[in-house]
Structure 1
């Protein structure tokens, strides 16, 4: 299997929103997106990519079909050190369990190397998110430590405790 990473456009917004489910909302977004809001978000990601700063996101395609999303953010400092580039990702339900996330993470790490962005790729994940923990381990990331997030909170206002995994670029 080979996945393809490419920038998301307005025409991808409906498929992107259709791929969101309870798992995506729980572990990544915190809520379901709208097509209009998703298009606006894709515009921000495209502007960041053109400027070479901030969070940049890519669609993950498998067999010509949008299978998920991966982004990287060299400006995210929550639990990270200078030179760490935060990675986030989600895989649509139909493509889960087939290695799509691992392949996408490794492909985005290769892009970071080629573009000389950061020194280490970082995955910050809740311990209960066993799928993402497996992705980090399968891709060769090493566990570093647990920390209380300074930006992510539970519904009761308490900080989310995340595990930090790193991969040298």
Structure 2
């Protein structure tokens, strides 16, 4: 919380570039670290917050920073557990845009109850019900599935 957004991104980038293992090294002075910080900050819409301490930014911006920190390590797979949990509708819309603008070669596994987000960003949807896979297919098929509607909305006939 005491570091700035830029410093947090810089630490993650330093891990990726190997500069994090050098004691007393100012990793943010390294051109390759600064380049990653700038690129990731742009990707996750953090440019206006780079010099703000994390303790001063909103919860939603912190969620963006979490994604940014992960991206700064240059992952092959990005795992996210309910990235829009606890954020308002405007920030959730921002996350839709953020996730849609990530590189298409980045594999993402997202656990999400915001079905609009899931349908918007997923190439494939897998649905679990009580730990069992009950659907695995395209978002369009999931959206139109009577079985999924029954599981998540319930039956009006029983009321």
TM-score (norm: length of structure 2): 0.32
Q: Which structure's residues are more often helix, by fraction?
A: 2
Flag the structure with larger Rg: 2
